[in-house]
A = this chain, B = another copy of it.
Amino acid sequence: MSANPKFLAATAQVDSAAIQALPQSRKIYEQGSRPDIRVPFREISQDDTPTLFGGESNPPLTVYDASGPYTDPTVQIDIRKGLPELRRAWIDERQDTEVLAGPSSVYGQERLADPALTAMRFELQRPPRRALSGRNVSQMHYARKGIITPEMEFVAIRENMRIEQYIESVRQSGPDGAKLAARILRQHPGQSFGASIPKKITPEFVRDEIARGRAIIPANINHPEIEPMAIGRNFLVKINANIGNSALGSSINEEVEKMTWAIRWGGDTVMDLSTGKHIHETREWIIRNSPVPIGTVPIYQALEKVDGKAEELTWEIFRDTLIEQAEQGVDYFTIHAGVRLPFIPMTADRMTGIVSRGGSIMAKWCLAHHEESFLYTHFEDICDIMKAYDVSFSLGDGLRPGSGYDANDEAQFAELKTLGELTKVAWKHDVQVMIEGPGHVPMHLIKENMDLQLEHCDEAPFYTLGPLTTDIAPGYDHITSGIGAALIGWYGTAMLCYVTPKEHLGLPNKKDVKDGIITYKIAAHAADLAKGHPGSAIRDNALSKARFEFRWDDQFNLGLDPDTAKEFHDETLPKDSMKVAHFCSMCGPHFCSMKITQDVREYAQKQGVSADKALHQGMQEKSIEFMKKGAELYHKT
């Protein structure tokens, strides 16, 4: 039940499940303005449309890809070496950082010197990098100086998802290419609640959003391995996956596997919430192997350093922890600086009190000392650390509701208002900020959270946990919260923190991680569609087309989880021949409903008129034709 004592650095291996290409998928890269800006995508190839349905070819579809080099068969993965330093040259070129001799945190030095940790330590310890004295290395700082960084350009290319290139390939795919492209690109106008997403994301747009504080690119200079991504209401809605061991279980290996598993299915960032032994070492393994930004809650580790006695926490211990983690490369810190002393009594009549771990630690500290939180009083000191490494704030909602009963109460909104004040302080320092949000909120109270967040925090990205829309389904809180996540994403939340089926019950295993990720990919995508994010309907349209044309494999492969879709299909219709069957396994051949429109269209085509016209012109004739054909199409089994 403790951290696995058998984990040895020397024999650590990548999870074989993480390095398989997804079915019919290949890794492609889109180059930017310089050869070292290579933005990864996944390209899913498709079968031709069966002759019966028109016979056209269906060019491969490009989708956003968070999985990093793992799914690139040309990259040799060795988790003992870590990932390549994609951003190293970009950081070097800016000439505003120095490479230190070693960790500057006391704790970091201690851990490095401890021979008992040698066997489990990530071997290739790279000396940390820090801003030169007086310099600010945050993406926001560059953005405000008018500089478009390679990170920003990378993000711009990534957000565009190669839509133009894909649509062009559809246009060129055959005589009806232009018509087909128009169909595939068509989507309903959205309802964006004030988000304004351009048709094409330019690097300048990214810069402007970062400068404005409306988006962030979490990108610690000590995490050069990341493929930059953006979090903001005018970008694709992102999702975060929480991993981390506790005193009660899970080993370093398992956590690295959870990370590679989470990004395989679409996790855009990963939070390492470890609270057990070897937090430092676990984090090093995760960061060195993570192509996505890593977030942490530094107070967890600070608490371990005082043996779990919240009242013994000090600013000095916390500060050392921030530096320790910043020098490892953590990209964003959850800081519960909004849990102020006067707010704590507001939670006294709650049903479930304070449910945020960080929030409760700070509340305990405040009560024990009868003093204002050191996170609040030292907030500008924290900003100084953040900008020396470009760590982004994730201002924690320590007073979020832990039940629908406590939703939208005085304590919660008092904290939110404080987070708004702190946002402006951070922005004064050009430090990137996002704001954490609830929690447990019934559907009709969700919008108030978004509206107040936009108002108080001046459009700094909102990053919410769920929210869970009911409390009566332990074991299914990925679903109770997926509903709330889709809604708040639609209203404007920039990143959705997943909830797994194990929420409130236990530590998620790999299956839970995947269930959480897929549920949240659904919520995020449903939000993109509802906001009217340009091009977001393309994948839906391509999959629907495949579905209508009985291209079973394409239907599986274009989906979020091809493996499960195929497995489910094969339970009912296991034979390969059934993958080309022109009927659904639900209904059987007699009851296939998808065929009727095809009959109409086929008839129309023969007549050389539009389907609509054909039906109006020649219904009578059609009925004879139809009967003849019908007898063929619906033959008995």
Using a CB–CB cutoff of 8 Å, the interface residues on chain A facing chain B are 183, 186-188, 190-191, 246-249, 275-276, 300, 303-304, 307-311, 344-357, 359-361, 363-364, 367-370, 402-405, 407-408, 440, 442-445, 469-476, 479-480, 482-483, 486-487, 490, 501-507, 509, 518-519, 521-523, 525-527, 529-532, 537, 539-541, 543-545, 547-548, 555-556, 558-561, 564-565, 567-569, 571-573, 584-601, 604, 610-612, 615-616, 619-620, 622-623, 626-627, 630-631, 634, 636-637
Oligomer: number of copies: 2
Q: Closest CB of chain B to A343's CB: distance in Å?
A: 11
Task: Tell me if A593 and B359 are in contact (CB < 8 A).
Answer: yes
Task: Tell me if A527 and B591 are in contact (CB < 8 A).
Answer: no
Q: 5 interchain pairs (CB within 8 A)?
A: A311-B627, A348-B615, A367-B599, A473-B561, A479-B482
Task: Tell me if A540 and B404 are in contact (CB < 8 A).
Answer: yes
Task: Tell me if B470 and A309 are in contact (CB < 8 A).
Answer: no
Kindly report which residue of chain B lies nearest to residue A538, judged by CB atoms: B472
Known: A191-B444, A444-B190, A548-B402. A556 touches B474 (CB 8 A): yes
Known: A370-B620, A443-B526. A585 touches B631 (CB 8 A): no
Task: Tell me if B526 and A483 are in contact (CB < 8 A).
Answer: yes
From DSSP, what is the main secondary structure of chain A's interface residues?
helix
Task: Tell me if B348 and A610 are in contact (CB < 8 A).
Answer: yes
Interface centre among A311, A470, A504, A561 (most CB of B within 10 A): A470
Complexed CA–CA distance, A362 and B558 (Å): 31
Provide the residues of chain B in CB contact with A611, threshold 8 Å. Answer: 345, 348-349
Known: A351-B544, A572-B505, A612-B349. A630 touches B469 (CB 8 A): no
Task: Tell me if A529 and B442 are in contact (CB < 8 A).
Answer: yes
Kindly report which residue of chain B lies nearest to residue A480, judged by CB atoms: B522
Kindly report which residue of chain B lies nearest to residue A634, judged by CB atoms: B308
Sorted from nearest, which 5 A-B pairs have the closest CB atoms?
A: A353-B597, A506-B572, A348-B611, A403-B544, A360-B593
Kindly report which residue of chain B lies nearest to residue A571, judged by CB atoms: B506
Provide the residues of chain B in CB contact with A247, threshold 8 Å. Answer: 588-590, 637
Complexed CA–CA distance, A204 and B527 (Å): 42
Interface centre among A361, A591, A612, A623 (most CB of B within 10 A): A591
